[in-house]
Structure 1
Amino acid sequence: MKKILLTLTLGALSLVGTALSYDKELAKRFNGMFSQMTPEVLRQRPCQITTQQLLQMIQKGEDFVILDVRTPAEIAVVGPTWKNTLYIPMHELFKEENLNKLPKDRKIVVVCHTGDRAAAVVTALRALGFDKAFQFRGGMTELAKEVGRAATEYVK
């Protein structure tokens, strides 16, 4: 009976040890990405563009790229038709051939449905050296609301 109890206890302890372990190399890579996001940086929100800012950029004729990282199914429903739009789903973006399509010398406004995926993509792109990558805050959902209200003020 003691042998069985000892075996069960050792087995349980080994499972707990396994459950508490993690991929240390992957953690180092995440640390490299997220260590940039200090409280000072987050307070300034330098990586975000609002709907009004985007529409003003269009009105002023600024040279920038919209990067839509939604799935093809999402884009089929509704998507930006801005002349400088790249459609690369998030799950394919970090392939070398797709990263090579991104400019390093112009703003990249990353768009998704609500802004959540765009935030993750911008964090990764900035870690890779794309310093002009910005999250479109609120995503297509927010854009649809604002454009429905006041697009004629910005886009002619």
Structure 2
Amino acid sequence: MLTHLLKIITLIIAATIAIPAWSYDVALAQSYEKLFAPVKGAQAGKAMHLMKPDAFVNKVKEKKPLVVLDIRTPAETGVYGATLRGTLVIPLNELFSEANLSSIPTDKTVVVLCKSGTRAAAAGTALRHIGFDNVYVLKGGFKALAGYMGPKEANTLPTPQPTPQPTPQPTPQPKSALPVPPQSSGWYPAPAPFPTRPTWWPSTADTHQSTPRQ
């Protein structure tokens, strides 16, 4: 009986040793701890880089350097999609390939959006975790944007208006100096020349010629 009991205990110990102990990635957990440390209190949304629809629309109208990253499925984007110039359309399941990550700019604000904001929040968090600190999430997604602007306007997204160009003004011409009359000094007019004798005027010789005596 005792021998049988010892065999059972031995089998239990062996089975326990064979099962690997569960553990988590400590280094990865510490990196997430650092990422989410600022997420607290009233500043939680700001720390998570959530952007409200009104702030997003204002940035577009002010022509701030901004790129929209639409991570919805092709079926969704085929119905309605972001038409803002420079929009990147990359489904979430393809987002983290090397080619797609290299297409995301790092020198301007990137706003990730989906239908309701859930997928965008996950994608935005993951992108920031791997180094894309310029990534933000449109809070509430297209639904919130449609609620703020209206469905039609949200589908087309606001278009920045061109900066009005100033009307060119004619270049003023320099004032020319008043002409100086010939043969004059300063501003005094030159004396009029003595009038010439007309051709029909008799000459002095003809006038004083004496008639010879008979």
1:136 corresponding residue in structure 2: 138
Residue identity opposite 1:126 in structure 2: R
Q: CA deviation at 1:145?
A: 1.5
- Pairing of 1:1-156 with structure 2 (within 5 A): 21=22, 24=25, 28-29=27-28, 31-40=30-39, 43-44=42-43, 45-46=45-46, 47-148=49-150, 155=158
SS state of the match for residue 67, structure 1? strand
Give the RMSD, CA atoms, in angstroms.
2.9
Residue identity opposite 2:65 in structure 1: D
Counterpart CA distance in 2 for 1:42 and 1:72 is: 37
Identity %: 33
Q: CA deviation at 1:58?
A: 1.1
Q: CA deviation at 1:41?
A: 5.5
2:201 corresponding residue in structure 1: none
SS state of the match for residue 120, structure 2? helix
Q: Which has the higher contact order (CA 8 A, sep 6+)?
A: 1
Runs of 4+ in structure 1 over 2 Å off: 20-24, 27-31, 39-43
Contact 1:33-1:124 at 8 Å conserved across structures: no
> Structure 1: which 5+ runs fail to align?
none
Structure 1 residues 130 and 86, CA gap change in structure 2 (3 angstroms): same
Counterpart CA distance in 2 for 1:21 and 1:62 is: 48
TM-score, length-normalised on structure 1? 0.77
> Which structure is higher in helix share?
1
> Structure 2: which 5+ runs fail to align?
160-214
Contact 1:34-1:123 at 8 Å conserved across structures: no
Counterpart CA distance in 2 for 1:106 and 1:92 is: 22
Counterpart CA distance in 2 for 1:22 and 1:73 is: 39
Q: Which structure is larger by alpha-carbon Rg, 1 or 2? A: 2
